[in-house]
Chains A and B, each alone.
Chain A
Amino acid sequence: MLGISMISLVGVLILVLIFGFVFSKGAAVISWDFLWGDYHETVYDTYYDEGLDDTVFSRPEDLDDTIWFSSVWGVGFTDSVDEAGNAIILIVYVHQNSPLSSLLDKNEEGNFIAISNGQIVNKVIFGDNIILYGSDGAKRAAFLFDQATIIKDMITVTSGGGIRGSIITTFLLVIMTLALAVPFGVFTAVYMHEFAPKKSKIVKLLRRLIEMLSGMPSIIFGLMGAAVFIPFTSAITSADGGNLFSGALTMTAIVLPLIIAATEEALSVVPDDFRQASLALGANKTQTTFKVVLRSSIPGILTGTLLAVGRIIGESAALIYAIGTAIKDKIILTERSTSLAVHIWSVMSQEVPNFEMASAISIIILLVVLILSLLVKLIAKKFVIDPSLR
């Protein structure tokens, strides 16, 4: 008896371990920059030679003592370390009128670049050929800037390691997939449950086939995506290889059985009384189905949709094949990108797996899954208590 109760605690134990591990490794990484920053580092090469006016920037009151401020340029620096542990100079504040907010690009004529919060100073060559190195520290940086009126060459790096691209991709994937899968799935379920002739052999076959779908592992759908949807979308759009459309089509195939099952379940619970009453009033079947039956089925369909969202967010293997594993910052529908789950795969299959980033993203995914599960439970409760269900 005791043994059995111990065994059943395994479930809770593992859940706690997973959450605990993921939180311990990843929580520190989560920040606004992480969520909304670029993944890839960008190197900016800029200069400024237009001379300074007499503006003196006052140090904002909310900057603490660790920040060194240049009142000539209106910029604040602090000391920090990079992943390898090297000392770096981090820009933490740039006044909106600071000349630094609009520097000329050395690589592209006429292009302006804004030096902004979060960038790292790599090297600066000032007007009188005084050089500031990245390892010189924030105090010296502020000092040298205060002395200078011309910047001959300034090299800054954005820190990268952000997941904005993957967040946007995941969001787009969910919307695109639902846009296809929900109408498809609901209409299929409505046909099979309400309109199909009762003993039809075709319907039996269709059901069997759809059932087989739900038993397929998602990686197989990925193979299909690569074999069918990538060439297909490449042919009809400007895409060349994996893209968000092929990914959405693949995910549609995966979540279709889910939505069909949830919708059929919801339809079967609608009391037959309603259908009879509607028909007896002279409504035809189409009106009965859409105005009465489907309306009552909405909670069930909603549940199926939420489950589908969870599935899309969590899917990795299929999308690795159907889109690819290239992490992007700028998301274009006809190009590759990674969803959050595939992003984890991508950074974990590097030579040195990035546990911190993977854990941080896992936290986000787990929280979303948690919320979705709660929503589903909430709908179930409300649905059951609804007295129109007799």
Chain B
Amino acid sequence: MLNVFEIKSLNLYYHEKQALKNIDMIIHKHEVTAFIGPSGCGKSTLLRSFNRMNDLIDGCRMEGNIYYVGNDIYAKDFNVIDLRAIIGMVFQKANPFPMSIFDNVAYGPRCQGVKDKKILNNIVRQALEDSALYDEVKDRLREPAICLSGGQQQRLCIARAIAMSPEVLLMDEPTSALDPIATAKIEDLIAKLKEKYTIVIVTHNMQQAARISDKTAFFLLGELIEYNETEALFTHPKNPKTEDYITGRFG
């Protein structure tokens, strides 16, 4: 069985500044992997390189390789658009499109050419159910998405990503803008989603990482300091820098 992601000797630069130094790691299937570390350590940057969203940033340069189920995603002529279709991403700030709830979730499949109403209805319904949002919105699917609360909007964004039947879900600090109740709902959701998807989640909240992830990677100043089973990393960190971070000596 192929690993979902293999990162080999990854170095990433924004113009002259180096943001990622020599990253080597493997992401496993059906696991929740958490990236933790202080601000600016590169965890979001690494996440965004998995679906080549960094391409959109001016002056971003990369050395090394990232393999997605064996494919070198930075190979020449690689179809980035299809890559993004099968890797889902949820952003820190919920950003539903100025359309109805239904149209938001149906957006991705429609872009892939799905037109049949029945199929779309099923996809939308399934995605919303899997995101634990369906019951709350089933009577108002045609209403504008911005009428939802913050937590609901974020779950909508998750549904939107799931509607594409991705293999992987990349989540960039998905709960940092939400209240504790909404956060808890999403954390429960992630625990369930793990059965279907591989999840990589960036979080600045260590407790969250400890709660929901199977493996945790700790980053500092662009370097991968430690990567281990979550419980092991938090109870017996091997690297003193890791220990400093999780005991709150800095960060």
- Whole-angstrom distance between the Cβ of B113 and the nearest chain A Cβ: 11
* Contact with B107, one of A273, A284, A291, A296 (Cβ below 8 angstroms): A291
Distance, CA A31 to CA B89, complexed state (A): 64
Mark each residue of chain A from 281 to 297: 1 if its CB lies under 8 Å from any CB of chain B, else 0.
11110010001100110
Mark each residue of chain B from 84 to 111: 1 if its CB lies under 8 Å from any CB of chain A, else 0.
1110110101010111000000011001
Residue A183 CB within 8 A of the other chain: no
- Name A95-141 residues within 8 Å CB distance of B: none
B93 touches A281 (CB 8 A): no
Interface size class of B (residues with CB under 8 A): 20 to 34
Residue A276 CB within 8 A of the other chain: yes
A283 touches B111 (CB 8 A): yes
A282 touches B164 (CB 8 A): yes
- Asked, given contacts A198-B58, A283-B81, whether A388 binds B98 with beta carbons under 8 Å apart, the answer is yes
Residue B112 CB within 8 A of the other chain: yes
CB-CB under 8 A from B51, the residues of chain A are: 280
A281, A292, A295, A296, most chain B CB atoms within 10 A: A281
- Name B45-62 residues within 8 Å CB distance of A: 51, 53, 56, 58
* Contact with B56, one of A279, A281, A284, A295 (Cβ below 8 angstroms): A279
B81, B93, B161, most chain A CB atoms within 10 A: B81
Distance, CA A337 to CA B95, complexed state (A): 52
- Asked, given contacts A274-B95, A388-B98, whether A282 binds B112 with beta carbons under 8 Å apart, the answer is yes
- Name A44-68 residues within 8 Å CB distance of B: none
Residue B233 CB within 8 A of the other chain: no
CB-CB under 8 A from A296, the residues of chain B are: 98
Residue B215 CB within 8 A of the other chain: no
CB-CB under 8 A from A280, the residues of chain B are: 51, 53, 84, 88-89, 91, 161
B98 touches A282 (CB 8 A): no
Q: Which residue of B lies closest to A292 (CB)?
A: B97
CB-CB under 8 A from A273, the residues of chain B are: 91, 93, 95
* Contact with A284, one of B81, B144, B160 (Cβ below 8 angstroms): B81
Mark each residue of chain A from 258 to 279: 1 if its CB lies under 8 Å from any CB of chain B, else 0.
0000000000000101101111
* Contact with B160, one of A274, A281, A292, A388 (Cβ below 8 angstroms): A281
Distance, CA A92 to CA B58, complexed state (A): 76
- Name B108-153 residues within 8 Å CB distance of A: 108, 111-112, 144, 146
A281 touches B107 (CB 8 A): yes
- Asked, given contacts A198-B58, A388-B144, A388-B146, whether A281 binds B95 with beta carbons under 8 Å apart, the answer is no
Binding site for B on A (CB under 8 A): 198, 271, 273-274, 276-284, 287, 291-292, 295-296, 386-388
20 contacts between A and B (CB under 8 A): A274-B95, A274-B97, A274-B98, A276-B53, A276-B91, A277-B97, A277-B160, A279-B53, A279-B56, A280-B51, A281-B84, A281-B107, A281-B108, A281-B161, A282-B84, A283-B108, A284-B111, A292-B97, A295-B98, A387-B146
Known: A280-B53, A281-B160, A283-B81. 10 other contacts (CB 8 A): A198-B58, A277-B97, A278-B97, A280-B51, A280-B88, A282-B86, A282-B164, A291-B107, A292-B97, A386-B98
Binding site for A on B (CB under 8 A): 51, 53, 56, 58, 81-86, 88-89, 91, 93, 95, 97-99, 107-108, 111-112, 144, 146, 157, 160-161, 164
Top 4 closest pairs, chain A to chain B, by CB:
A282-B85, A388-B98, A273-B95, A280-B89
